[in-house]
Amino acid sequence: AQSVTQLDSQVPVFEEAPVELRCNYSSSVSVYLFWYVQYPNQGLQLLLKYLSGSTLVKGINGFEAEFNKSQTSFHLRKPSFHISDTAEYFCAVSGAGRRALTFGSGTRLQVQP
């Protein structure tokens, strides 16, 4: 079985400040990893994904994440957040059999001016 832990349920951040959103996973097999974003009153949108290859993954809107197999982590970073980035961020893992994604509990990011 696979699971995802997002340690921070809520992260306040000031505009144009860098932030790292933490994600740790557990799985007995190789995994694919994802970060999704949910803006208020909307569905989930894919930010980026790690399938294989380079451990540093770049996504949309300046987001990036680093896959660390030894630490079973996939932390999300952005050098500068803006008010428009206020949303909830979900880490997800796809494991054995590539069945349904397992999501973390989400990190709510409130960007303040």
Partner 1 sequence: DSGVTQTPKHLITATGQRVTLRCSPRSGDLSVYWYQQSLDQGLQFLIQYYNGEERAKGNILERFSAQQFPDLHSELNLSSLELGDSALYFCASSVAALGRGDTGELFFGEGSRLTVL
Q: Residue numbers of the site for partner 1 (CB under 8 A)?
A: 32, 34, 36, 42-46, 49, 51, 90, 94, 97-106
Task: Give least dist CB 80 to partner 1, A.
Answer: 26
Nearer to partner 1, 101 or 111 (CB): 101
Which 3 state secondary structure label does DSSP give 60?
A: helix
Task: Give least dist CB 95 to partner 1, A.
Answer: 8
Nearer to partner 1, 97 or 113 (CB): 97
Q: Distance between CA atoms of 35 and 10, rounded to whole angstroms?
A: 16
Task: Give least dist CB 102 to partner 1, A.
Answer: 7
C-alpha 67 chain-centroid distance: 11
Q: Distance between CA atoms of 15 and 37, rounded to whole angstroms?
A: 18
Residue type at position 27? S
